Structure 1
Amino acid sequence: MGSRRRYLVAYDIRDDKRLRLVYKTMKGYGWRMQYSVFICDLDRMELLSLKTDLGAIIHHAVDSIAMIDLGSPHERGSDCFQFMGAVHGMPDSGPVIL
């Protein structure tokens, strides 16, 4: 394994069936922050697995997924968030069991 990094993953999927599949896949990797936005604490192998799983679902010519590395969950990965309105809390860092 290795050290975990916190990723913000946001997606725009143009087909309802693919959208549902991406959502189900993302639930296995992270915490839903907002509609089509997840927070995931992943090591390198989990990140590769996530990219592989999503890459098999999306239509690469029309769908889009952004994966932003926010740093360590214990450092910048938590400190870089600012909220307005309802705040639902951030996930605790730790292993994600798939």
Structure 2
Amino acid sequence: MDEHLYIVTYDIADEKRWRAVFKIMKGYGEWLQLSVFQCRLSPRRHAELIELLTGAINHRQDHVLLMNLGPADKVDPRVVSLGKNFQAIDKVPLII
């Protein structure tokens, strides 16, 4: 599968919208810090996430950044992590 590794960060002005965005993100990635997620996304999941976030935010007050780090199986993120250990998200089997 053609998955890419993304870092998603957001600044949401309203607490209710912030909670909605947080709930969306929990379904798409791993929570790293307040308002920061690491996601491993196929093109389809990426498009779904964009659509959901577009509908959840106020485009004049809020800001969401999706940073594409490259192909998930080939990228080796170079991260300086102080405090908690940073681990790049691995591909895991999805059981339906």
| TM-score of the aligned structures, taking structure 2 as reference length | 0.88
Distance 1:55 1:43 in 2: 18
Q: Paired residue for 1:31?
A: 30
Residue of structure 1 in register with 2:85 after alignment: 87
Displacement of 1:96: 6.2
- Label 1:37 to 1:29 Cα distance change in 2 as closer, same or farther (>3 A): same
Tell me how far apart the structure 2 counterparts of residues 83 and 29 of structure 1 sit (CA, whole Å): 22
Could you list the runs of 4 or more consecutive aligned residues of structure 1 that deviate by over 6 angstroms after TM superposition?
A: none
Change (3 A) 1:12 1:27: same
Identical residues among aligned pairs (%): 35
User: Normalising to structure 1: TM-score of the pair?
Assistant: 0.86
Q: Hey, what's the Cα distance between the residues in 1 that align with 2:2 and 2:11? A: 28
User: In structure 2, how many angstroms separate the alpha carbons of the residues matched to 1:82 and 1:3?
Assistant: 27
Quick check: 83-92 or 2-11, which moved more? 83-92
Q: 1:95 to 1:5 in 2, by over 3 A?
A: farther
* Root-mean-square deviation over aligned CA pairs: 1.8
